[in-house]
Each structure stands twice: as structure tokens, then as C-alpha cells.
Amino acid sequence: MKYVDEFRDPELITKAAEEIRRLADPNRHYRLMEVCGGHTHAIYRFGLKDVLPPNIELIHGPGCPVCVLPMGRIDDGLSIAMQPDVIFAAFGDMMRVPGTHGSPLEHKARGMDVRIVYSPTDAIKLAKLNPQKHVMFFAIGFETTAPSTALTLLRAKAEGIHNFSIFCNHVTIIPAIRAILDSPDMRLDGFIGPGHVSTVIGCRPYEWIAKNERKPIVVCGFEPLDLLQSIMMLLTQLQKGEAKVENQYKRVVPWEGNRAALRAMAETFQLRPYFEWRGLGFISQSALRIREEYAEWDTEQRFHVPGIRVTDPKAAQCGEVLKGVLKPAQCKLFGRECTPENPVGALMVSSEGSCAAYYNYEHRKGNLLTTISASA
């Protein structure tokens, strides 16, 4: 696969790992946060922790749009879909996320019309194919996905499709990073910056992290060589005492972002004054809602939304894991009451959630590295 395989070349990965060992100061313990859940997933899926020296610690950030959604919002969406002739349409990522009375898939087993879509435009197609029903698209994602929802909304309007609405749960990444930096428990040396969000917002929005907080941030791709190269770039900055924004993912991320995408978002969305994030509490100006002019396609305007608020079980430490204060295995429920099959929180069921990634890919490895390299 072009633009994928070359960035997974085993020889180059080995070389990059050696370079990282050379660059890392053995007397220093580095704490680098990868903000984006997609990076967390990639790190575990490619086993990159096995090739990094032990003094580089990767802290998992809150960039998982499913994980940060409070359970109450899922309950809200499901309660609307329980009405007759409503189809609940969402990405596969949402299907196993637990609501108070079960996940969307569990609701489907009980008779709710639940459909998996790969693209928000598939939801419009569903609306066209089912004129007697109302299709509610449960929209999630950071700025990577919001423009696609925005364009879909504009298309629905242009094509005069009225049996369609969007339950908008898009959130923005900068407030999440701010919340991390404001957290008193957090000590970080630098950031592995979100790659795909940056194709939309560009690299400028991160400048305050370098200027005001004096932390280096490298916008990073998702293949093993991208991650390793970004770590190299962070180490080099740290060695020189620098703090700047760098773009490692140049082949895809334009420094200025994607103007057409930002235009579509500005046309259809506005910032909510505040929004509740699981584990991080209420954050102002951190989430999107649909503009008044498009009220007809806004689920929250067309339907009564119960506004259910659900507190996480006390023992669940989703918030601390989301902020990177705790590692997944340090949560008291990890692997016991909370597993991918019986998730208490979304971090265990979302493919980007750090608990799921750790549980699925890592936690049974034990002290394997010595065993494998000894017999290789």
C-alpha cells in the first residue's frame, strides 16, 4: 500500500529506534503526551513501546471523541431513537458504547432500528430510502470529522431532505489540551500533536503551547515511522531547550489547514457556551452545535432532548485515565469489572480508548521482550 508500507519499513523502524536511543539523555526521564486516541491505538498496535528506551514515557491524552462523551448524551440519543419510526444511525465506533440501559447494539437486539454507517452521507442515503422514517445521525468526532458532518448538512439542505437530523456531539481539541496543561497533577515535557485534526485546523492553533507554556509540539502522522520521527524531533528540541511547533506530517497537513473545511464548519456550526466532557467536567467553548438557520436538521431542535446527566460509577477512574494522570491498569476496575466485553466506561470500548488499547494489545505481555529477543 503506497504511503503506508514505506512508513512501516522494519529496517527504517529499527534505525529510527536506534537514533532515539542515541538522542535520549540517559539521565533524563521524558514524559511525552500523544493527544490523539488514534496515536494511542497506533502505538499499541505497532508495539512501539517495545522499541523505545525505558526513559521515554508515553502518556495517553484525551483525544478520543467517543471516550469523552458523557453517558448522558448517549442516553439522550437512544431515548430519541426509541420513538417510533426513528432510525439511529452512527459509526461503528458508537455501537458498543454503554448507555445506562445498554449500548446501541443491545438496543438493536431489543428491536430498535440501529444502522452502522461509514460516512455521514450514508445517513442521508438511508433517509432517502426510508421516506416514512426519520434518520437521526449521531455525530461524533473532533475537527477531523466535523467538516464532513457540516458538508453533509449542507447537502441535506440542498437536496431538500427533511426526514434527517444530526445529533451533534462534535468537540474541539484545543480546550482539551488546555485542560491537560491546567491540570495540577500533570507534568509533561512535550506533545505528539494530532495529525488528522491538523489537516483541518492547521498548525497555528498550537502556537500558544510552544510560546506560552514553553512545551514543544510536533504534529505527527499515524504510521510507526511517523511516530518515531516525531519523538526524534521532540527529543532534539528538548535537548536544545527549544519549544516550537513542528510539522512532521507534512505530506498531508498544510500549515494553514483546510480553508474549505473551516468554511463549511463556520457556515453550519457555532460553539456551545460550555459542554460536559467525561472526566474533565464542563469546559467552555469546547463543543459544536448546529446554527439556528439549520435548526430543521438539528436533532436537539426537532426533538425533545431529555438532557440526561449520568455520573460515572465512583470506582471508575475514567477521568484520571483520560487526563493521563493514571495508566489504564491503575484504574481499580481495569480487567475486572471493566473489560471490552463488559465496559463500564467508553475508554474500554472505543478502539481509540487507552484502556481498550492497553487491554487488547498489551497487558498480557508481561516481561516478554527478553524472551523474544533471546530466541530471535
Partner 1 sequence: MSAGAKLGNPAPKIRFREPQIEMAHGAGGKASRRLVEGLFAPLFFGASAEPLGDAAHLKINGAPMAVTTDSFVVKPIVFPGGSIGELAVNGTVNDLAVSGAKPEALVLTLILEAGLRTDVLQAEIQAIADAARKAGVRIAGGDTKVVEHGKADGMYITTTGLGAPLPDVEINPHSVRSGDKVLLSGPIGDHGITILLARGELEMEGDLRSDTRSVFPLVSAVIREAGPGVRWMRDPTRGGVATSLNELARDCGLGVILFEDSIPVHDAVRGACELLGLDPLHIANEGQFLAVVAPEVADAALKSLQETPGGEEARIVGEIREQPAGSVLVTSLYGGSRIVDMLVGDPLPRIC
Partner 2 sequence: MCLAIPGKIVEIAPDNPNSALVDVVGMRRRVDLGLLEDDRPVPGDWVLIHVGFAMSKISEVDALDQMRTLEMLGECEAAVQEVRGYGLEEIEDKAS
Site residues (CB under 8 A) for partner 2? 1-4, 6, 12, 15-16, 18-19, 22, 36-38, 41, 63-65, 91, 118-122, 141-142, 144-145, 147-148, 151, 155, 194, 196-197, 199-200, 222, 225, 229, 248, 250-254, 258-261, 264, 352
The closest alpha carbon to 219, from 18, 4, 2, 39, belongs to 39
Three-point CA angle 333, 339, 341, nearest 5°? 145
Other beta carbons within 10 Å of 208: 14
The closest alpha carbon to 35, from 187, 194, 190, belongs to 194
Closer Cβ to partner 1, 36 or 333, answer by number: 36
Minimum CB separation of residue 99 from partner 1 in Å reads: 15
The interface partner of residue 10, options being partner 1, partner 2, none and the CB cut-off 5 to 8 Å by kind, is: partner 1
The interface partner of residue 105, options being partner 1, partner 2, none and the CB cut-off 5 to 8 Å by kind, is: partner 1
Q: Which amino acid is at 14?
A: T
Is the Cβ–Cβ distance between 178 and 213 less than 8 Å?
no
164 exposure class (CB count in 10 Å sphere: 0-12, 13-18, 19+)? buried
Strand (E) positions, 68-156?
Answer: 86-90, 114-116, 134-141
Minimum CB separation of residue 117 from partner 2 in Å reads: 9
The interface partner of residue 361, options being partner 1, partner 2, none and the CB cut-off 5 to 8 Å by kind, is: partner 1
Closer Cβ to partner 2, 254 or 340, answer by number: 254
Give dist(CA 163, CA 171) in Å, integer: 25
Q: Which stretch binds partner 1 (CB under 8 A): 170-178, 266-274, 292-300, 357-365?
A: 357-365
Is the Cβ–Cβ distance between 56 and 30 less than 8 Å?
yes
Minimum CB separation of residue 141 from partner 2 in Å reads: 7
Query: Per CB under 8 A, does 192 bind partner 1?
Result: no
Query: Per CB under 8 A, does 336 bind partner 1?
Result: no
CA distances from 183 to 143, 179, 194, 323 (A): 23, 6, 20, 8
Residue from 61, 62, 65, 328 binding partner 1 (CB under 8 A): 65
CA distances from 81 to 138, 143, 306, 353 (A): 10, 25, 12, 25
Closer Cβ to partner 1, 15 or 204, answer by number: 15
What residue ranges bind partner 1 (CB under 8 A)? 1, 4, 10-11, 13-14, 17, 37-38, 44-48, 50-51, 64-66, 91-93, 95-96, 105-106, 108-109, 115-119, 122, 141, 145, 224, 340-341, 350-352, 360-366, 368-369, 371-373, 375-376
